[in-house]
Structure 1
């Protein structure tokens, strides 16, 4: 597939024009014009680039790419080494941040909601935003669960131990979630009527807020909760477009 055609495919799928983001969405580093082999991953770290080079990839697709707002503009040190490896190996880098969080089918939040078995119609965590633009979703479990049973469900979904702050003995039925570093959305989760809020990270104040609101809280890992989108895009490219696409997981405990 030609690079421009591949970019149009990703843009039409993920609709980056809907979002005001912290980094450019789309083609971030230009490589060869024809793309046959794609590696997807969470973050465009050196280890992922090295794995893509070893795999003979023509393109890398990630959730966390480059050129974030307020980052240093100089191309030195770690940034130079990463960009140099991409350019020397003629590899395209595509990054999609908020669009990959929000997509109702291929997004990180959708993937985690599916893994937890949330039932029925999901709604936006952010009041007033349509689901396809929402950074965070709210849904229902098929039946209420104890906090410890729910903790086990989340751990199975993300493949790691998670932090649970169970604020009471109240069972969990309504789940609000927002993957990654979204602990700041905890009060919106409460206003949405959630019994529990799941995100990737936790800050010191998050626990106090959960306790004072009387809402359970789970921190399941930034990386662990944001693997779903890159995995889904690899599957889409394989199954719908017949491309050689593979997800490579560079483990990160954060």
Structure 2
């Protein structure tokens, strides 16, 4: 069954007047499940996990169409991933319903220096971590370029009631598929992995990190017309992570 980002991509394509061509990407046929060329398909490697935390992706207009988008990887790994296209004036009613759902405690993930201090948190509330004792954490990620994300944050008043989770990554981004002018900018799946770790789900966090490394390997090897190193370090790490958590039903 297609996940939330796949469905959003299909809806966005249906509205397109012309085909989307990624800058620097190849023009060959792509797998509908992983967006890679069939020779480098990684659908068989998709993890199957159970997580208490959820992720809500607010995606800039063309993000679902980009083959390098890593929100797709989050939706592969985290069963309760929701994806919505961002608009300034007409938020999706399903998004507003999700944010109002009493089972969830939403956290807007954004740098704390851009927010009033009283709204900033740096950890997940304890009652969000323990079974039925509290609400489940729902991490709201603005999936966009940094310029777009700042605009989205300022112009989304429906996010104002929620705490802002400010992350403090201990290492620079390892994402290699897009350029960034700042070393402290993480890609969306790296941010989600940090959030999962804060939510007390280290196996899911480490699996997502390993899955990103495998995706990067497949993407770059396909772009450079090189074979996949199936027994390499990235694939071995993902296999080890997949063996640590029972598969979801």
* Structure whose alpha-carbon radius of gyration is higher: 1
- Per residue, is there more strand in 1 or in 2? 1
User: Relative contact order (alpha carbons < 8 A, sep ≥ 6): 1 or 2 greater?
Assistant: 2
